[in-house]
Structure 1
Amino acid sequence: MGESCTMSKTDRWDVWDVYSKPVALHCGECFEIKLGDHFLSCRIEMDSEWVIYLSNTRFHLHPKVSYWIRVE
Structure 2
Amino acid sequence: MVNELRYRPSAKRWHAYRNGLYECPLHCGNLLAIQIGDGYFPCRLELDADWYVEIGETKLRLHPKTVYRAMLLF
Q: Please identify, of 10-19 and 33-42, the stretch whose mean Cα deviation from structure 2 is larger.
A: 10-19
- Residue matched to 2:31: 30
Q: Percent identity?
A: 29
Q: Which residue of 1 aligns with 2:5?
A: 7
Equivalenced residue count is 70
Whichever structure has more strand as a proportion of its residues is 2
- Give structure 1 regions of 4+ aligned residues with deviation exceeding 2 angstroms: 18-22
Q: Which secondary structure state, in structure 1, belongs to the residue aligned with residue 60 of structure 2?
A: strand
Alpha-carbon distance in structure 1 between the residues aligned to 2:4 and 2:21: 13
Q: CA RMSD in A?
A: 1.5
Structure 2 unaligned residues grouped into runs of 5+:
none
Q: CA deviation at 1:34?
A: 0.3
